[in-house]
Amino acid sequence: MNRIRRVGIVGCGVMGAGLAEVCARAGLDVLVAVSRPSRVADGRGKLVTSLDNKLRKGKLSEAERDAALSRVSFTASLADFADRQFVIEAGPEQELVKLDVFATLDKVVADPGAILGSNTSSFPIVQLGRVTDRPGMVVGTHFFNPVTVLPLVELVGSVLTEESTVATAETFVTDVLGKQVVRTKDRSGFVVNALLIPYLLSAIRVYESGVASMADIDKAMKLGCAHPMGPFGLSDLIGLDIVQAISESLYREYREPHYSPPPLLARMVSAGLLGKKSGRGFYDYTPASTERAAAA
């Protein structure tokens, strides 16, 4: 494949916006697909806010900010991805949504050598590949939140992914985007979430059993294990819906009880208490809140 210059990002939530920024600052032509035309302003707003914050902190110049913004455009139609060389899907962690996206990308992306990547946290890459006529070009590219800060990308090849695809994706992620890669097999949770999610679920169960308060559990893990964040603060940052989705994926694959979502987590997701992105999760993040009070 020729040098990758034209990148597509499907989705402009927290992860999609971060991916768009990283790619734009790397000098790439970035096209971001949003769910509907009314979301274009919101998507661009996320990008502007993030870049302006870095400008204020002296992490980039005004010229660099303007150049990055000029490289990003938006669309509400995946049909506009025809000329893309590398597409990264960063939509909701929902099976039917992802399958539909990959089936559509397979039809519209003209270059048969274009790589189709997914930022999924846990969904099997082989299933995404099988809805396309190019399963050898489908790979997992799992970035971490915040994308603009965390250096890791889990690179996941399925049993159908060609080695040349994985190698090209690794070169792109490391040499162009400046990230670090770990390769992992196509197993639910990959490496990081296979280890992290059971820990987060265990913390919820410890709280549910009345051993300690959420604040004290977070404090214990930060001060006793030198973690930068406690499990409840981290769950809120990840998004409780994402934690639940990964938990369910792990449980489907391994059928081990410690992977199943605790009742409290399921109830909070049902109530729309998803963490920082919704303004309230285990803690309250609304502007009117004088302290991060527990939400449950």
The bridge status of strand 180-185 relative to strand 86-89 is unpaired
Instruction: Tell me how far the alpha carbon of residue 76 is from its chain's centroid.
Output: 20
- From the list 118, 119, 121, 247, the catalytic residue is 121
Identify whether 53 is a catalytic site residue: no
- From the list 50, 89, 142, 247, the catalytic residue is 142
Q: Letter for the amino acid at 195? A: L
Could you tell me the sign of the dihedral formed by the alpha carbons of 283, 285, 241, 147, in that order? negative
Backbone φ and ψ for 218, nearest 5 degrees, come out as -60, -45
**What are the tokens at 182?**
């770990």
Identify whether 209 is a catalytic site residue: no
- From the list 119, 188, 193, 249, the catalytic residue is 193
Identify whether 118 is a catalytic site residue: no
Q: How large is the greatest C-alpha to C-alpha distance in the chain, in angstroms?
A: 58
Identify whether 154 is a catalytic site residue: yes
- From the list 119, 154, 158, 249, the catalytic residue is 154
Positions marked active-site: 121, 142, 154, 193
